[in-house]
Chain A
Amino acid sequence: MTKVYRQVFFMELRKLITYRSDFWVNFMGQTFFSLVIAYYLWESIFEQTGSDSMQGYTLQGMVFYYLMAPLIFRIQQGQGIGFASREIYDGQLSKYLLYPVDFYCYKFAGYFAYSFFYIIQLFLILFLYNCFFYDPSIYQFSLWGTIAFLIAMIEASLMFYFLFSITEFLAFWFDNIWSLGVILRFGTSFLGGGLIPLKFFPEWANQLLSYTPFPYMINFPLNSLTASIESQEFLRSFFISGAWTIGFFFVARQLWKKGQYKYTGVGI
């Protein structure tokens, strides 16, 4: 049966590279814009404050952060809002209900293909960054950092997938969950350090956030990549996010089971 999910994974990858222009715009466009906006914004902030470093970030460090954070966030988001809700609304879900496969695994294989595709993009961009702006104080390749990053990234993607599934499956009960998806995405990005580094948050907020799933979505993988996380802290983060992942998995699974009774297969 694993062959099915492998096939779905490769078909999604094939689909992603079918359209050449979209591939290159997606690859270069988003990264370029993130980089330019981050550079000019933080350059003027550093200039205004007259300091060389803010909360431990130099200007180059900050630009690196804003280059990586959106890429990490994109890896987690996979197919994005609507991967299940859209199919519930237009009745396309019916075809998955006819297949003798596990819908959850089938969808995750497709979701993971997107994540995999964006991980490759991240490493390519990291390589290009190192070619032109190499600074060992900001990022230096290390095997441990890369392995830790991949572990943290897989866990973060799973956690986000199950959390996102919860909102997606609410489509069985509600006529439109788009706004909920947008709020979740914005909230995750903000509380996970995608908009502002978490070091800029007050200490009490960081303490509080450490018990929530959010810092483990962007901050944790990013710190793992730059090897700026102690092994003990890594393990602690790994277990907390693991607990959240399992929790989200069970809630999503229950919603999926109950939701099917509500499904009307509209549109066929």
Chain B
Amino acid sequence: MIKVENLTKEFKVHTKKPGFKGSVSSLFNREYTTKEALKNFNIEIESGEIIGLIGSNGAGKTTLTKILSGIIHPTKGNVSVLGFNPWKKDNEYRKQMALIMGQKAQLWWDLPALDGFLLLKEIYQIPTKDFYDRIEFLANYLNVKEQLNIQIRRLSLGERMKVELMAALIHQPKVIFLDEPTIGLDLTAQKAVRKFIKEYRKEYKPTMILTSHYMDDIEELCPRIAIMKQGQMVYDGQISQLHDKYASNKVIELNIEGEDQQSILLNSFPEELGKIQKDGKLIQIVTPRDLVMESSKFALNCVQISDFSIKEQEIANIIEKIQNSGKLSD
């Protein structure tokens, strides 16, 4: 479905020394530097799969999305999406693909969404009956039926994102690139967008690449993730395997009443079982996975505990660790 081989993208960027002198000298003598946004990047995505693309700013996520959607040309490498080369801009490919950019709008700012949809109906040559059926389905699902006749500029950010989603999906694309679809939205709107994407996937089963800085988006929607760092892949695998592979510790949280009881545990907990620390009424023990039982037993036998839980380390922390430590791909 999507196959990327040795993809490299270089950008030539103009540099300028600071200050007025630098500005004047750049009028006559321009200096450039080459920035590698993608370096020999490889990935394969199956039909109907959804993958979360994660990485800090400048990791190359958006560059990859732009190349896959055919907006920009790579410096070298091969890409095949649905059997097409995206940057050849074959109309047959463009009819089966959508790019949703959280920070960019495709609908006309001064006109109602429905006017924009009518244009898309002609662009994608959607039969009239299908078009109105899809509008009905999407508008009902996203709860924006009342907003379709209002100028885009007068809609709230959340409503705008919902009608943008409708615009991107009206031609029922087989491949969808979602570039930060929940950026800037409040929590309720974020949840609504995520719920919609989930339901839409169930119904139409498109192949999706999701780029987001919000871990909730990734954890809720993507069983598989690809972590990028400086244009390269540092992890490609199931999100569920992250804990097993990269989180060697678990966290035991204990709620202990009384300062004296807390002190007893803090002073007597053996160093070899893990690190213990106090966080208000809560005592946290970070212990290796194989010592969880032993650590728990020690604490339970040592003091009176009113509440007790064992937690995995947060995904965001593991990803941060992977990004900072470099190449860990299996």
Does B197 reach chain A (CB closer than 8 Å)? Answer: no
User: How far does the alpha carbon of A143 sit from the alpha carbon of B123 in the complex, in Å?
Assistant: 37
Does A20 reach chain B (CB closer than 8 Å)? Answer: no
User: How far does the alpha carbon of A100 sit from the alpha carbon of B97 in the complex, in Å?
Assistant: 10
User: How far does the alpha carbon of A56 sit from the alpha carbon of B37 in the complex, in Å?
Assistant: 65
List A residues 5-53 near B (Cβ within 8 Å). Answer: 6-8, 11, 14-15, 18-19
B11 A98 Cβ-Cβ under 8 A: no
Does A261 reach chain B (CB closer than 8 Å)? Answer: yes
Does B310 reach chain A (CB closer than 8 Å)? Answer: no
Residues of A within 8 A of B119 (CB): 4, 7-8, 11
Does A146 reach chain B (CB closer than 8 Å)? Answer: no
User: How far does the alpha carbon of A261 sit from the alpha carbon of B92 in the complex, in Å?
Assistant: 21
Residues of A within 8 A of B179 (CB): 268
Compute the total of residue contacts between A and B using a CB distance below 8 Å: 69
> With contacts A3-B122, A11-B119, A14-B115 known, is A263 near B72, CB below 8 A?
yes
B104 A98 Cβ-Cβ under 8 A: no
Residue of B nearest to A103 (CB): B89
> With contacts A11-B115, A98-B69, A100-B124 known, is A267 near B95, CB below 8 A?
no
Please give the distance in Å from B29's CB to the nearest CB on chain A. Answer: 16
A268 B95 Cβ-Cβ under 8 A: no
User: How far does the alpha carbon of A122 sit from the alpha carbon of B103 in the complex, in Å?
Assistant: 40
List A residues 84-98 near B (Cβ within 8 Å). Answer: 91-92, 94-95, 97-98
Does B286 reach chain A (CB closer than 8 Å)? Answer: no
Please give the distance in Å from A105's CB to the nearest CB on chain B. Answer: 12
B72 A265 Cβ-Cβ under 8 A: yes
B122 A260 Cβ-Cβ under 8 A: no
A265 B66 Cβ-Cβ under 8 A: yes
Number of residues in A with C-beta < 8 Å to the partner? Answer: 27
Does B71 reach chain A (CB closer than 8 Å)? Answer: yes
Does A99 reach chain B (CB closer than 8 Å)? Answer: yes
B122 A99 Cβ-Cβ under 8 A: no
User: How far does the alpha carbon of A181 sit from the alpha carbon of B122 in the complex, in Å?
Assistant: 33
Does A54 reach chain B (CB closer than 8 Å)? Answer: no
User: How far does the alpha carbon of A94 sit from the alpha carbon of B108 in the complex, in Å?
Assistant: 14
Does B70 reach chain A (CB closer than 8 Å)? Answer: yes
Residues of B within 8 A of A19 (CB): 110
Please give the distance in Å from B173's CB to the nearest CB on chain A. Answer: 10
Residues of A within 8 A of B97 (CB): 98
Which of A19, A101, A264 has the largest number of chain B CB atoms within 10 A? Answer: A264
With beta carbons under 8 angstroms apart, the residue of A15, A91, A98 that contacts B70 is: A98
A98 B122 Cβ-Cβ under 8 A: no
List B residues 59-99 near A (Cβ within 8 Å). Answer: 62, 66, 69-73, 89, 91-92, 94-95, 97-99
> With contacts A7-B118, A265-B71, A268-B101 known, is A95 near B106, CB below 8 A?
yes
Does B111 reach chain A (CB closer than 8 Å)? Answer: yes
Please give the distance in Å from B293's CB to the nearest CB on chain A. Answer: 50
Residues of A within 8 A of B92 (CB): 100
User: How far does the alpha carbon of A92 sit from the alpha carbon of B95 in the complex, in Å?
Assistant: 19
A11 B89 Cβ-Cβ under 8 A: no
Residues of A within 8 A of B91 (CB): 100
B122 A268 Cβ-Cβ under 8 A: no
Residues of A within 8 A of B106 (CB): 95, 98
B70 A97 Cβ-Cβ under 8 A: yes
Please give the distance in Å from B63's CB to the nearest CB on chain A. Answer: 9
> With contacts A263-B71, A263-B72, A265-B72 known, is A101 near B115, CB below 8 A?
no
A98 B118 Cβ-Cβ under 8 A: no
B66 A99 Cβ-Cβ under 8 A: no
| A8-B119, A95-B104 known, 7 other contacts, Cβ within 8 Å | A18-B151, A94-B66, A94-B99, A263-B72, A264-B72, A267-B104, A268-B103
Which A residues form the contact surface with B (CB < 8 A)? 3-4, 6-8, 11, 14-15, 18-19, 91-92, 94-95, 97-101, 175, 260-261, 263-265, 267-268
Which B residues form the contact surface with A (CB < 8 A)? 11, 14, 62, 66, 69-73, 89, 91-92, 94-95, 97-99, 101, 103-104, 106, 108, 110-111, 115, 118-119, 122-124, 151, 179
